Amino acid sequence: MASPVRRIAPGRRARPPGEDAREHLLDAATALLSARGVANTTIAQIAAAAGVTSAMVHYWFETRERLLDAVVDERVARAIHEVWDAVDPAADAPLGQAQGIVKRMFDVTEQMPWLASLWLHEIVGEGGLLRGRALKHVPRKTVEAFGRSIARGMARGELNARIDPQLLFTSILALVMLPQAAVKIWQRLRLPASLARANLERHVNALLEHGLRGDAAVAVPTARRQRRRAS
């Protein structure tokens, strides 16, 4: 007996059943977890947001815990790697490395607008339910190497000696993520500051460069002037 012919609406591409279904569910789950929080999000809500049944969610992920694993391993981890994989632990251009990290963080939050809120509430926040899953993806050796690069720049007199090298990335994380995670609060308060990427990125880079250079930015030109006067 011949198989029934599946009718395709004009203009639509034929695709096998289930293609992209798992990715669609992950997208829906990630967005909902970011907006509502892990503790307040159920499988039924994720299914409704994706336009499928709860049975379909269980078909692809079996349990809620495995769904959370997938959100971190296939979404959050991707963002972490996009930020850190480009850092060369052996490189010795600390300010440039810091600026590169800032740019890539803005790149990933632009591609993944849910990231800032999810990171703040479920990874950094006290009791965050995705913290353990996410932190295992952080390349600790690379983060520490970045801190040592900053320390070397300080030792050479290029960077502000009052900066804590190992706290710098925490500060960058806060500067980039917190305003984006709090955008709804800013909107409710009707605060005038623009949180558009261009404005926020310019602001963060100005704070970063001024803070990192600090006294060093003043000391180097002063020393040059003194040498010119002596010559």
CA atoms in the 13 A half-sphere facing the CB of 12: 8
- E strand or H helix at 147: helix 140-155
Token duo for residue 23: 């990715």
Work out the average pLDDT over 155-161.
94
- E strand or H helix at 71: helix 64-71
Better-predicted residue by pLDDT, 190 or 174: 174
Please state, in angstroms and rounded to a whole number, the distance separating the CA atoms of residues 150 and 91: 11
Sequence-distant (6+) residues with CB within 8 A of 95 are 153, 158, 159, 209, 212, 213
177 — pLDDT class (breaks 50, 70, 90):
very high
Reported as a single tens digit per residue, the pLDDT across 84-132 is 999 998 888 999 999 999 999 999 999 999 999 999 999 998 899 999 9
215 — pLDDT class (breaks 50, 70, 90):
low
| Helix/strand number for the chain, H first, E second | 12, 0
Better-predicted residue by pLDDT, 108 or 188: 108
Burial (Cβ within 10 Å: 0-12, 13-18, ≥19) of residue 2 = exposed
Q: Does the pTM of the predicted model rise above 0.95?
A: no
Q: What distance separates the 2 farthest-apart alpha carbons in the chain?
A: 100
Whole-number average pLDDT of the chain:
87
Please state, in angstroms and rounded to a whole number, the distance separating the CA atoms of residues 91 and 97: 8
Radius of gyration of the chain (CA): 23
Reported as a single tens digit per residue, the pLDDT across 28-61 is 999 999 999 999 999 999 999 999 999 999 999 9
Topology of the domain covering 93-230: Tetracycline Repressor; domain 2 (1.10.357)
Question: Quick one: what percent of the chain has pLDDT higher than 70?
Answer: 84
Is pLDDT of 144 > 80?
yes
